Amino acid sequence: MKPRVPARARPLWVAAALAVLAISMIAGLLGGAAGISPWQVVLQAVDWLPGVHVDSGLAPIERDLLWQIRLPGVLVAATVGGLLAIAGGGYQGVFRNPLADPYLLGAASGAGLTVTMVIVFLPGSAASVPVAAFVGAVGGVFLAYALGNTAGRSGGTATLVLAGVAVTSFLTAIQTFVQQLKVEELRRIYSWILGDVSGGWDQLALVAPYALVSTVLLLLHGRMLDVLSVGDEEATALGVRAARVRLAVLFGASLATAAAVAVSGLIAFVGIVVPHVVRRLAGGSYRIVLPLSLIGGGAFLVLADLIARTVMAPAELPIGVVTAFVGAPFFVGVLRMTRRAEM
């Protein structure tokens, strides 16, 4: 059985996570290469409130920087991070595998391939990007799961991840081939592959419907994932249709991954780092893992974006580089702990 969180403790954890998210978003709004006083940023934020008028002392170009670049960038980072983290938690619950992750399961690479094909063959069709990403994400997970099943259960919890790595490598190779068909789009595709959360308000509008549907769907299935964790037979005895729950969660997690990939490109390790930290702090019940992963993932990626924008200012690191620096050692640690548990 997974450890449970007392019902009275859940609001406290959610409130603490929301506070961390708010602090990280404020830091993301304040930080940057442009020399704007933090106090002026605060005054400008107050001026944005309905019915409030405050002179921040900022020039029009500085106000545009905050409104058109920093604020939507912080919101995109929070949205993408939350989607990747809650998708990772959903995949881990469905497959009962602590190593499951949108990037490692082939979901991100599948979405990356189909989005690359849209960029190359259907330029200008931005509305079709989320749909293409969803199809690719579902296809990538299906291939990894089917390949992992060919090894049976003897391969342990790492089998699915190894299958996901193989599928990811294969789909990435196809993506590289597609890229070469239109070399003039290489720069755009390459920056997209490394991750980018600098999208504007139009990117938020594009991803919002998919983010809302996937998030609600996953949060509604937290209790059922707890039931599935005890085994399919026990779940059936309790009146839970395991196959239907898995299909719904897979749909929600793949849709969340697709929405994130569609606006930010490929950003690895968020879906494995954040859910594991949440479990360590708040317990393993998916009724708390999923909402805390959503909030914590947003905070994590906002801070990663802040580091990417400031560590080499005025130049910027791709955000995927920052998450890889954090996530790769973390993944090795999780893998070692998982292998010990199986011995």
Q: Quote the CA–CA distance of 257 and 263 in Å, as a whole number.
A: 10
- What is the predicted pLDDT for the residue at 340? 60
Which among 192, 330, 333, 212 has a CA at the least distance from the CA of 271? 330
Q: CB within 8 A of 231, min separation 6: which ones?
A: none
Q: Where are the domains of the chain?
A: 9-342
Over residues 137-161, the pLDDT tens digits come to 888 888 988 887 776 554 455 677 7
Buried b (16+ CB within 10 A) or exposed e, 228-237: bbeeeeebee
- What is the predicted pLDDT for the residue at 297? 96
Burial tier of 153 (Cβ tally within 10 Å: 0-12, 13-18, 19+)? exposed
What single letter denotes the amino acid at residue 126? Answer: A
pLDDT at 108 over 60: yes
Q: Quote the CA–CA distance of 299 and 77 in Å, as a whole number.
A: 8
pLDDT at 267 over 70: yes
CATH ID of 9-342, from 1.20.1600.10, 1.10.3470.10, 3.40.220.10, 3.40.50.1000 = 1.10.3470.10
Average of pLDDT values for 191-200? 73
Confidence of residue 24 (pLDDT cuts 50, 70, 90): very high
> Average pLDDT, whole number, for the chain?
83
Which among 139, 135, 159, 133 has a CA at the least distance from the CA of 147? 159
Over residues 303-333, the pLDDT tens digits come to 999 998 888 877 778 888 889 888 888 877 7
pLDDT at 228 over 60: yes
Confidence of residue 83 (pLDDT cuts 50, 70, 90): very high
Confidence of residue 270 (pLDDT cuts 50, 70, 90): very high
Q: Quote the CA–CA distance of 243 and 236 in Å, as a whole number.
A: 10
Which three-class secondary structure state does DSSP give residue 144?
Answer: helix
- What is the predicted pLDDT for the residue at 1? 44
Q: What are phi and psi of 221, to 5 degrees?
A: -105, 15
Average of pLDDT values for 20-35? 83
Which tokens in the block code for residue 163?
Answer: 């299958």
pLDDT at 341 over 80: no
Element holding 301 (H helix, E strand): helix 286-310
- What is the predicted pLDDT for the residue at 57? 79
Over residues 271-311, the pLDDT tens digits come to 999 999 999 888 889 999 999 999 999 999 999 999 988 88
Over residues 235-247, the pLDDT tens digits come to 778 788 888 998 8
Q: Quote the CA–CA distance of 263 and 205 in Å, as a whole number.
A: 10
Buried b (16+ CB within 10 A) or exposed e, 26-56: bebbbbbeeebeeebbeebbeeeeeeeeeeb
Which among 279, 292, 249 has a CA at the least distance from the CA of 2? 279
Q: Quote the CA–CA distance of 92 and 228 in Å, as a whole number.
A: 12
Higher confidence at residue 204 or residue 82?
Answer: 82
Confidence of residue 81 (pLDDT cuts 50, 70, 90): very high
Do 266 and 327 meet the contact criterion of CB atoms below 8 Å apart?
Answer: no
- What is the predicted pLDDT for the residue at 133? 82
Cα–Cα–Cα angle for 99, 101, 104, rounded to 5 degrees: 90
- Percentage of residues of the chain with pLDDT beyond 90: 26
Q: Quote the CA–CA distance of 43 and 21 in Å, as a whole number.
A: 20
Which three-class secondary structure state does DSSP give residue 277?
Answer: helix
Q: CB within 8 A of 271, min separation 6: which ones?
A: 84, 85, 87, 88, 89, 91, 101, 102, 103, 257, 297
